[in-house]
Amino acid sequence: MGEAPQILTLDITSNGHTVKHYKGTLSSVGSRTHLIQTEPSFLDPVHFSLMGSLETPTGAENGSAHTAGNGKSPSVEAVDAPSEPDASKRRRSSVLPLEVGTRVMCRWRDNKYHPVKVIERRKVPNAIPNDYEYYVHYTEFNRRLDEWVKLEQLDLNSVEAVVDEKVEEKGATGLKMTRHQKRKIDETHVEGHEELDAASLREHEEFTKVKNIATIELGRYEIETWYFSPFPPEYNDCLKLYFCEFCLNFMKRKEQLQRHMRKCDLKHPPGDEIYRSGTLSMFEEKHSEESYNLACILTLPPYQRKGYGKFLIAFSYELSKKEGKVGTPERPLSDLGLLSYRGYWTRVLLDILKKHKGNISIKELSDMTAIKAEDILTTLQSLELIQYRKGQHVICADPKVLDRHLKAAGRGGLEVDVSKLIWTPYKEQS
Ligand SMILES: CC(=O)SCCNC(=O)CCNC(=O)[C@H](O)C(C)(C)COP(=O)(O)OP(=O)(O)OC[C@H]1O[C@@H](n2cnc3c(N)ncnc32)[C@H](O)[C@@H]1OP(=O)(O)O
């Protein structure tokens, strides 16, 4: 039997962080040792020259290596490929500073690399000239995760050669955008501005592309902001704002907030209290002309994933039932809004389908739940529970399939105790 193959792992590090990881088995031919690479499964050309054969990398600047498997340090022969520092220096000088629009891989908070697009760059104060940090959009994620990152978080070997044209340079002469241009904007920006023409959309995009306020202090919490927010110009230089948690007035300095708190006598939202259960109260605020049963919900980040969102959704349908109407939320739904609604609709509808014996129509489901027929249809369609048979649409409710979907829809939110809702619908008040 031959010896077990030696396995070498090589981690290229930059400022203490692993930026590339290679693994392979060692093969010896005479005095030469080669790395037969097993990870990653493909190489980009820059690293191919490095990986063809390896200098024992212990002395490499910004590089570290360790052995795995039998733990022996292999002796690996050098070839005429450029050393990593030289190649890396050349690479840096050819791509830096990165242009706005560059696509590159960036290390995120999960310590993994994700594709990003550079949205903005700024010089690092008191640093060497041309030292920038970059505001990036993670193309797989929602825009709320856009952030300023340091150069060492970016994998410069992954810089894509083609830089996206600046959106504002495109279509500057005409008001109509091509579908491609529209997609480019949608990719990096919040949806819901369908009413804007191309020029206004570009102006809006330019103005809102970087978050202005980084954090807010509200009560006991310091909260990172998610998006740009249109504060008055005198707040342009503020990174943090201090909010009164009762009236939501905001101030530049903590002492101003403390002075304000001594005077502020608002201790609950405006409107009549219409529901109280334990520590949870609901206040009536206003009538919707558009007959939505919910305009926009928000759970502040420290309180998220505790069931308040689902509670608010369930509450809105209880109000609709009291009104004897069907309800639907205002559109467009955000990504998290859609997740919360899809979960609610799925649980409510599938609970009924599970218990119901015999046929049931969309209209009957709508009457029972106050959920608008279109929302029922899209929910059941997305779960593939609607089939077209003998010329008509039917709901197919196999109990096992229903159970699977119900499990995937997750838990319900905080319970709405309808007996504690004291509210007279708007129509009846007049
Ligand atoms: C009509 C409209 O109002 S659309 C606009 C909705 N509002 C917004 O997008 C504003 C920003 N987002 C928020 O304020 C909140 O995320 C809300 C209001 C959407 C949800 O509030 P929460 O109090 O967190 O909701 P809740 O705890 O009931 O959870 C809702 C479900 O949505 C999903 N969800 C919520 N946040 C996340 C998240 N960050 N990641 C993955 N899933 C999530 C989950 O399925 C969650 O259920 P689970 O916790 O049982 O898995």
Domain of residue 286, CATH code? 1.10.10.10
Task: Look at residue 1 and tell me if it is in a domain.
Answer: no
What 3-state DSSP class applies to 363?
helix
Q: Does ligand 1 have an atom closer than 6 angstroms to the CB of 306? A: yes
Residue to mutate (ligand 1; options 336, 347, 348; most atoms within 8 A of CB): 336
Q: Does ligand 1 have an atom closer than 6 angstroms to the CB of 286? A: no
Q: Which of 330, 364, 384, 415 is catalytic?
A: 330
Q: What integer is the mean pLDDT of 63-91? A: 47
Q: Does ligand 1 have an atom closer than 6 angstroms to the CB of 330? A: yes
Terminal C-alpha separation, the chain? 94
Task: Look at residue 180 and tell me if it is in a domain.
Answer: yes
The CATH number that applies at residue 108 is 2.30.30.140
Q: Does ligand 1 have an atom closer than 6 angstroms to the CB of 337? A: yes
Instruction: Pick the atom of ligand 1 nearest to 294's CA.
Output: 1
Q: Does ligand 1 have an atom closer than 6 angstroms to the CB of 309? A: yes
pLDDT score of 377 more than 80:
yes
| 191's tokens | 């949806």
Q: Does ligand 1 have an atom closer than 6 angstroms to the CB of 308? A: yes
> What per-residue confidence (pLDDT) applies to 428?
52
| 266's tokens | 């608002």
pLDDT score of 408 more than 90:
yes
What residue has token string 């970087």?
A: 210
Strands 280-284 and 272-277: antiparallel
> What per-residue confidence (pLDDT) applies to 201?
87
Task: Look at residue 359 and tell me if it is in a domain.
Answer: yes
Helix (H) or strand (E) segment spanning residue 64: strand 63-68
For residue 202, give its domain range.
166-207
Residue to mutate (ligand 1; options 224, 280, 340, 344; most atoms within 8 A of CB): 340
Instruction: Pick the atom of ligand 1 nearest to 310's CA.
Output: 28
E strands along 94-246, which residues? 103-107, 113-123, 132-138, 147-149, 154-155, 215-218, 221-224, 240-243
Q: Which of 47, 81, 115 is a domain's end point?
A: 81
Spatial neighbors of 59 by CB under 8 A, at least 6 apart, are: none
Determine the distance separating the centroid of ligand 1 and the alpha carbon of 307, expressed in angstroms. 8
> What per-residue confidence (pLDDT) applies to 391?
84
Tell me the CA distances in angstroms from 140 to 143, 185, 309, 378, one per residue in order.
Answer: 9, 15, 24, 25
Q: Which of 37, 60, 81 is a domain's end point?
A: 81
Which has the higher per-residue pLDDT, 83 or 151?
151
Shared domain for 276 and 409, answered yes or no, is yes
Q: Does ligand 1 have an atom closer than 6 angstroms to the CB of 411? A: yes
Q: pLDDT grade, residue 42 (50/70/90)?
A: very low
Q: pLDDT grade, residue 165 (50/70/90)?
A: low
Within 13 Å and on the Cβ side, how many CA atoms surround 346?
23
> What per-residue confidence (pLDDT) applies to 10?
55
Contact, 423 vs 319, CB < 8 A? Answer: yes
Shared domain for 39 and 63, answered yes or no, is yes
Q: What is the DSSP letter of 50?
A: H
Pick the residue whose CA is nearest to atom 43 on ligand 1: 336
Shared domain for 144 and 222, answered yes or no, is no
pLDDT score of 279 more than 90:
yes
Q: Which of 97-101, 105-109, 330-334, 424-428 is the least confident region?
A: 424-428
Shared domain for 143 and 187, answered yes or no, is no
Pick the residue whose CA is nearest to atom 49 on ligand 1: 305
Shared domain for 310 and 278, answered yes or no, is yes
Q: pLDDT grade, residue 194 (50/70/90)?
A: low
> What per-residue confidence (pLDDT) applies to 429?
54
Q: According to the 3-state scheme, what is the secondary structure of 262-284?
A: HHCCCCCCCCEEEEEECCEEEEE
Pick the residue whose CA is nearest to atom 38 on ligand 1: 336
Distance CA(255)–CA(252), nearest Å, equals 9
> What per-residue confidence (pLDDT) applies to 239?
94
Contact, 138 vs 108, CB < 8 A? Answer: yes
Spatial neighbors of 113 by CB under 8 A, at least 6 apart, are: 105, 106, 107, 155, 158
Q: What integer is the mean pLDDT of 202-215? A: 92
pLDDT score of 420 more than 80:
yes
Residue 27: name the closest of 17, 18, 37, 19 by CA: 37
Instruction: Pick the atom of ligand 1 nearest to 308's CA.
Output: 23
Shared domain for 235 and 282, answered yes or no, is no
Q: What integer is the mean pLDDT of 51-76? A: 30
Contact, 229 vs 213, CB < 8 A? Answer: yes
Is residue 330 among the annotated active site residues? yes
Task: Look at residue 428 and tell me if it is in a domain.
Answer: no
Radius of gyration of the chain (CA): 29
Determine the distance separating the centroid of ligand 1 and the alpha carbon of 299, expressed in angstroms. 8
Shared domain for 110 and 155, answered yes or no, is yes
Summarised one tens digit per residue, pLDDT across range 283-302 is 998 777 787 999 999 999 99
Q: pLDDT grade, residue 93 (50/70/90)?
A: confident
H-only helix segments in 26-178 = 45-51, 84-95
Distance CA(352)–CA(369), nearest Å, equals 9
Q: What integer is the mean pLDDT of 234-251? A: 95
Shared domain for 14 and 154, answered yes or no, is no
pLDDT score of 77 more than 50:
no
Task: Look at residue 427 and tell me if it is in a domain.
Answer: no
pLDDT score of 125 more than 80:
yes
Shared domain for 108 and 130, answered yes or no, is yes
- Is residue 53 packed enough to be buried (19+ CB in 10 Å), middle (13-18) or exposed (0-12)? middle
> What per-residue confidence (pLDDT) applies to 38?
42
Q: pLDDT grade, residue 73 (50/70/90)?
A: very low
ipTM of the modeled complex = 0.98
Q: Which of 263, 285, 300 is a domain's end point?
A: 263
Q: What integer is the mean pLDDT of 35-55? A: 32
Instruction: Pick the atom of ligand 1 nearest to 298's CA.
Output: 14
pLDDT score of 255 more than 80:
yes
Task: Look at residue 391 and tell me if it is in a domain.
Answer: yes
Shared domain for 226 and 352, answered yes or no, is no
Determine the distance separating the centroid of ligand 1 and the alpha carbon of 291, expressed in angstroms. 23
| 360's tokens | 């049931």
Task: Look at residue 249 and tell me if it is in a domain.
Answer: yes
Q: Give the mean pLDDT of the chain.
A: 79
pLDDT score of 21 more than 70:
no
> What per-residue confidence (pLDDT) applies to 24?
55
Task: Look at residue 183 and tell me if it is in a domain.
Answer: yes
Total tally of structural domains belonging to the chain: 5
Q: Which of 99-113, 126-140, 328-342 is the least confident region?
A: 126-140
Shared domain for 277 and 397, answered yes or no, is yes
> What per-residue confidence (pLDDT) applies to 56?
29
Shared domain for 34 and 93, answered yes or no, is no
pLDDT score of 324 more than 70:
yes
Determine the distance separating the centroid of ligand 1 and the alpha carbon of 287, expressed in angstroms. 24
